[in-house]
Chains A and B, each alone.
Chain A
Amino acid sequence: MTELTMTSTPVIEMTDLVRRYGRTEAVNGLNLRVQPGRCYGFFGRNGAGKTTTIRCLLNLLRPTSGQVRVFGLDPARHEVAVKSRLAYVPDHIAFYPWMTVRETLDYFASFRSHWNLDVEASLLKRFGLDIWQKTPHLSKGQRTQLALIAAVSPEPDLLVLDEPTSGLDPIVRREFIQTVIGAYQDADPGRRTVLVSTHMIAEFEGLIDEFTIIDQGREVLTLDADAARERYQKVYARFASEPHSLDLAGARMLNRRACEIEVLVNGNSQNVIDRLRAFSPESLTVESLTLEEIFVATLQPAGAGA
């Protein structure tokens, strides 16, 4: 699509980012580029360095070294210019306990030069939030909904979500993440960019169009989601008799019983399939890995967990 392939300034660009806490390197030479209009997944286990990276992006933390650019600007030097164009929903949300939902939204709106009341009203309605409710009486799911409404109503160019669904029940989180991101990106899809940091990958499967997996503060894998599912596949074959001289170098063995073989391939599926076919399998199936399975396969050392 032309709007996605246009060469324009990346919304987020991090180069060799390092952030240490004492002797611990939370982020260790990370590179990240997010183009406008993308819904970008930032995946890692707990403690992989996701939140530290995001805090550097928002200038809540100073990088030890490396460069951070948001909208092409240094967030430390152009803090207002950067922050006025983005919204951030942290994993732990705090509201003033004396405020109602209405007052909370008005309070957030007071910091913004632009606030779309239609977006606000339609999301309040969809979530069924009572605007006269005091924030301490909201459930965890409702608090997240409120934070998300406050984040998308100013129609920022960048929406940063840090573990937006942690601690929520599965129905709630599937429903409203889709709704909020849909509402947010609908009006100006070529420009509105989402960065979602999470370790709950399955629920973002269809939403993510590109992702980076980080581990121990380093980038492990960056791919387009469709390309990833095309590249990482599971091949299963069953034979009439055990194929003794079968060479499957280049594929990771997941399961091997006498007449059954299941392997994981990474970009070389055709080659592996051809080698399996040479032994005339009774059955041969190929299945893509989901993003979550790719995440697990990427972070699991070869041979483990087979």
Chain B
Amino acid sequence: MRFQINFKSGKAVYLQLVDQVRLAAASGAIRAGDALPGIRPLAEELRVNRNTVAKAYTELESQGIVETVVGKGCFVRGNSSPFRKDVRRKLLAETLDDAVVQAHHLQIDRSDFLRLAEERFDILESKRTRAAND
């Protein structure tokens, strides 16, 4: 996968890496068992401190997205969240709350919002399908 860092986005650099891996895993661009790049080569490629990459990988590991095999590297895990279903629902609800608030400020009403959510699901799913057929 290709990473891109934007220092102007206002988001911590390590979180940008975390989000890109999460997106790649969700869209099927990377799959269970795939190795993430080594810390030092990735740090060199992106011109960031190795601490930043290490911090991103630690965060991904704590979220259950990847696992580290000592001496081998960092691998994408199967789709198995370490959290119970009710916890997972609660985590998602928090993210949705932000989107709902944002929708209010942008004057997007409920039905529009729900239609948009459907659309976004479709887009992600078609990406997954394409990735699976590659």
A and B part of one assembly: yes
Tell me, in angstroms, the Cα distance from A287 to B40 when the chains sit together.
28
Tier of interface size on chain A: 20 to 34
Asked if A182 and B8 make an inter-chain contact with CB atoms under 8 angstroms apart, the answer reads: no
Tell me, in angstroms, the Cα distance from A189 to B5 when the chains sit together.
22
Asked if B7 and A205 make an inter-chain contact with CB atoms under 8 angstroms apart, the answer reads: yes
A290 contacts the other chain (Cβ, under 8 Å)? yes
Asked if A290 and B50 make an inter-chain contact with CB atoms under 8 angstroms apart, the answer reads: no
Number of interface residues of B (CB under 8 A): 24
Asked if B44 and A179 make an inter-chain contact with CB atoms under 8 angstroms apart, the answer reads: yes
A106 contacts the other chain (Cβ, under 8 Å)? no
Tell me, in angstroms, the Cα distance from A291 to B47 when the chains sit together.
14
Query: 8 Å CB contacts to B: which residues of A15-41?
Result: 37-39
Within 8 Å by CB of B44, from A178, A189, A226, A290, lies A178
Tell me, in angstroms, the Cα distance from A229 to B11 when the chains sit together.
8
Interface segment, one of B28-36, B51-59, B66-74, B123-131: B51-59
Query: What are 24 contact pairs spanning A and B, CB under 8 A?
Result: A39-B49, A39-B51, A182-B43, A182-B44, A185-B50, A185-B51, A186-B40, A186-B50, A189-B51, A189-B54, A205-B47, A206-B13, A207-B47, A209-B52, A226-B12, A229-B7, A229-B10, A233-B10, A277-B105, A286-B10, A287-B9, A287-B10, A288-B7, A288-B8
Q: Mark B16-48, 1 if CB is under 8 A from A, else 0.
A: 000000000000000000000001100110111
Say how far B127's CB is from chain A's closest CB, in angstroms: 27
A174 contacts the other chain (Cβ, under 8 Å)? yes
Within 8 Å by CB of A288, from B9, B50, B55, B58, lies B9
Asked if A207 and B48 make an inter-chain contact with CB atoms under 8 angstroms apart, the answer reads: yes
B14 contacts the other chain (Cβ, under 8 Å)? yes
Chain A residues positioned under 8 Å from B39 (CB to CB):
186
Asked if B49 and A209 make an inter-chain contact with CB atoms under 8 angstroms apart, the answer reads: yes
Within 8 Å by CB of B47, from A1, A189, A206, A230, lies A206
Say how far A35's CB is from chain B's closest CB, in angstroms: 11
Tell me, in angstroms, the Cα distance from A179 to B43 when the chains sit together.
10
Tell me, in angstroms, the Cα distance from A6 to B47 when the chains sit together.
26
Say how far A281's CB is from chain B's closest CB, in angstroms: 12
Chain A residues positioned under 8 Å from B50 (CB to CB):
182, 185-186, 189
Chain B residues positioned under 8 Å from A185 (CB to CB):
49-51
Say how far A71's CB is from chain B's closest CB, in angstroms: 20
Query: 8 Å CB contacts to B: which residues of A139-194?
Result: 174, 178-179, 181-182, 185-186, 189
Q: Which single residue of chain B is at the shortest CB-CB distance from A189? A: B50
Chain A residues positioned under 8 Å from B14 (CB to CB):
226
Tell me, in angstroms, the Cα distance from A181 to B47 when the chains sit together.
10
Query: 8 Å CB contacts to B: which residues of A30-68?
Result: 37-39
A208 contacts the other chain (Cβ, under 8 Å)? yes
Q: Do A206 and B52 form a contact, CB below 8 Å, given A1-B58, A277-B105, A286-B10? A: yes
Q: Which single residue of chain A is at the shortest CB-CB distance from B55? A: A1
Given contacts A185-B51, A206-B47, A288-B7, 9 further A-B contacts (CB under 8 A): A1-B55, A37-B51, A179-B44, A186-B50, A206-B49, A207-B49, A209-B51, A286-B10, A290-B8
Within 8 Å by CB of B5, from A4, A206, A230, A289, lies A206
Say how far A156's CB is from chain B's closest CB, in angstroms: 17
Q: Mark A222-255, 1 if CB is under 8 A from B, else 0.
A: 0001100110010000000000000000000000
Tell me, in angstroms, the Cα distance from A287 to B8 when the chains sit together.
5
Asked if B13 and A226 make an inter-chain contact with CB atoms under 8 angstroms apart, the answer reads: yes
Greatest chain B CB density within 10 A among A174, A206, A277 is at A206
Asked if B46 and A206 make an inter-chain contact with CB atoms under 8 angstroms apart, the answer reads: yes
Chain B residues positioned under 8 Å from A37 (CB to CB):
51
Chain B residues positioned under 8 Å from A189 (CB to CB):
50-51, 54
Say how far B122's CB is from chain A's closest CB, in angstroms: 28
Greatest chain A CB density within 10 A among B5, B14, B43 is at B43
Tell me, in angstroms, the Cα distance from A193 to B12 when the chains sit together.
21
9 smallest CB-CB distances across A and B, nearest first, come from A206-B48, A226-B12, A288-B10, A206-B47, A287-B8, A1-B55, A288-B8, A186-B40, A39-B49
Say how far A7's CB is from chain B's closest CB, in angstroms: 17
